[in-house]
Amino acid sequence: MDKSGLTFGIYPLSAAGTPLGLAVGPEDNYEKIKLALQELRNETKMLVPRNYLIYTKEWEEKMLLKADRYLEAGLIGDLTIGCGDWTDKQEPEIELNNWLDFIRKVINRYGTQLASLQITNEPNLSFMEGSKPYILKALIEGVITAKREVWERNLPIKIGFGSVPESPAAVPSFWENLATAGNRTFIDSVDFVGHNFYVDVFEGQPMDLKEITVSVERTLRSIREKLISSGMPDTVSIRVTENGWPTGKNPVANVERTCDRQTEVLEAVIRTTYNLRQELNISHYVLFGLRDADSSKDDLFHQYGIMRDDYTPKPAYDTFRRLIYELGV
């Protein structure tokens, strides 16, 4: 088996971020989560949980309590710190020192359990973090601060930042502005760039599997080109940090999204990512996510899981387990 396989990860909880807030449903069952992750990794493979904190000054203590819960449940492996309340259009300029202190606190409290820390989730998405005028400064200074902190503490934590593909919803000239605002210290501090993308999810009409494969390759090649254009060396790895395909109904075409189709799409996406991993230096594939937010709702954001909200598996659950065993490290 190829030892240069993908490191697989998964979002293990249920709440899903939307432009209007969170899609939620029945409470998470941490014991069932633990059992599912154990079964998926089969005690022989890596499957790293990926979770989120969202920083605002007002939410700081609430977020640290959330991280304590992640730690207690064994779900702290890869952590992303989002920046700012994207639903608050009147949010003032970030207090940079508080933001950087929060990053230091996270590393201080959870660093020995962290595999990686991603600073910002979707900083170039115009209606999420990218809506904040301070986001580039927060990203650059946050990455530098995080890297300095792990160096000083001699912790093997990889540091990165997030991104989404170019689209009408992306922040114009984000990568050019990052290249201008960044510096050598920033570039040297970046170990990876996480890329969130969803194929055949937001399109008006369903795509066939060949179109999906072409779209995945185009997306991954494009992010590598963007990194090169912004001065990042090819040693900076790409991580697919959010990818999934929800069941339910296509919100535009009103077409039913079946569980069998979820299996086919996820396998096509994962195999295409795997086949490009060496050429494009892709290290991780992270699935969004383990279970539905609310299986009774068939809208776009409530049925991303490979399990239903009662933790009964969909067909994609077994497919994902098989691919972890075949293609994972």
Residue-averaged pLDDT of the chain = 95
Where residue 79 sits, what CATH number does that domain have? Answer: 3.20.20.80
Q: What is the pLDDT of residue 3?
A: 53
The whole-model pTM stands at: 0.96
**pLDDT score for 297:** 93
In a domain, 298, yes or no: yes
Other CB atoms within 10 Å distance of the CB of residue 117: 27
What share of the chain in percent tops pLDDT 70?
98
Per-residue model confidence (pLDDT) at position 93: 81
Tens digits of residue pLDDT in 104-163: 999 999 999 999 999 999 999 999 999 999 999 999 999 999 999 999 999 999 999 999
Q: 251 versus 289: which is more confidently predicted? A: 289
Q: At what angle do helices 259-275 and 209-229 cross, to 10 degrees?
A: 40
Report the distance separating Cα 292 and Cα 302, nearest Å. 6
Residue 249: the pLDDT is 86
Whether residue 277 lies inside any domain: the answer is: yes
How many structural domains are present in the chain? 1
Domain that holds residue 11: 7-327
For the ranges 75-84, 159-168, 242-251, 288-297, which has the lowest average pLDDT? 242-251
In a domain, 278, yes or no: yes
157-176 as b/e: b if 16+ CB within 10 A: bbbbbbbbbbeebbbeebbe
Is 37 contained in some domain? Answer: yes
Residue 1: pLDDT above 70? no
**Domain assignment present for 1:** no
Kindly state whether residue 2 falls inside one of the protein's structural domains. no
**Does 21 score more than 90 pLDDT?**
no
Residue 100 clears pLDDT 50, i.e. is over it:
yes
**pLDDT tens for residues 162-206?**
999 999 999 999 999 999 999 999 999 999 999 999 999 988 788
CB-based contacts of 104: which residues, under 8 Å, 6+ apart?
Answer: 145, 149
Beta-strand ranges (E) seen in the chain are 7-10, 16-18, 21-23, 47-55, 78-83, 116-119, 158-163, 192-196, 237-243, 248-249, 256-257, 282-287
Mean pLDDT of 232-250: 95
- At residue 253, the pLDDT reads 75
